[in-house]
Homo-oligomer: A and B are copies of this chain.
Amino acid sequence: MLIEIDFNSEEALYIQLRNRIIMGIAANELQEGDVLPSVRQLAETIGINMHTVNKAYTVLKQEGFVKVDRRRGAVIAIDAARLENVEEMRRELQVILAKASCRNISRQEVHALIDEIYEGYGGN
């Protein structure tokens, strides 16, 4: 899986990394059990510090997307216990949809966009 970082983005590097990996899981480019590159390795290929990658992995671990296996490193492992966190999503969507509404983007357009994006994430 290719991980690209935008150094001009305002988003923190470790957040970009986290987002990329979550999107990779959703898009099935990363599957349960897959091993992520080691923190040093990924840091070198991207050209950033080891600790920045480590922070991204730590966040992913806390959020339940990854487990750390001493021998293999960071492994994709989705924690079933914290599935279905809808409230968190509602708060995030509220801001985005408010902006959309102000900018005259219709509900239909949003639905279409959702479908389009969800398609890339394997249908349902």
Q: Which residues of A contact B (CB under 8 A)?
A: 19, 22-23, 25-27, 65, 78, 82-86, 89-90, 92-111, 113-115, 117-118, 121-124
User: What is the distance, in angstroms, from A19's C-beta to the closest C-beta of chain B?
Assistant: 5
A contact face: mostly helix, strand, loop, or mixed: helix
Contact between A84 and B103, CB atoms less than 8 A apart: yes
Instruction: Kindly state the separation between the CA atoms of A110 and B97 in the bound complex, as whole angstroms.
Output: 12
Query: Most chain-B Cβ atoms within 10 A of its Cβ — which of A85, A89, A98?
Result: A98
- Using CB atoms, name the residue of chain B closest to A116: B90
Instruction: Kindly state the separation between the CA atoms of A78 and B92 in the bound complex, as whole angstroms.
Output: 22
Number of identical monomers bound together in the oligomeric complex? 2
User: What is the distance, in angstroms, from A20's C-beta to the closest C-beta of chain B?
Assistant: 9
Name the contact of A22 in the complex, choosing from B83, B98, B121 (C-beta under 8 A).
B98
Given known A-B contacts A92-B96, A124-B106, A113 and B86 have beta carbons under 8 A apart: yes
Instruction: Kindly state the separation between the CA atoms of A27 and B102 in the bound complex, as whole angstroms.
Output: 9
A92 proximity list for chain B (CB < 8 A): 96
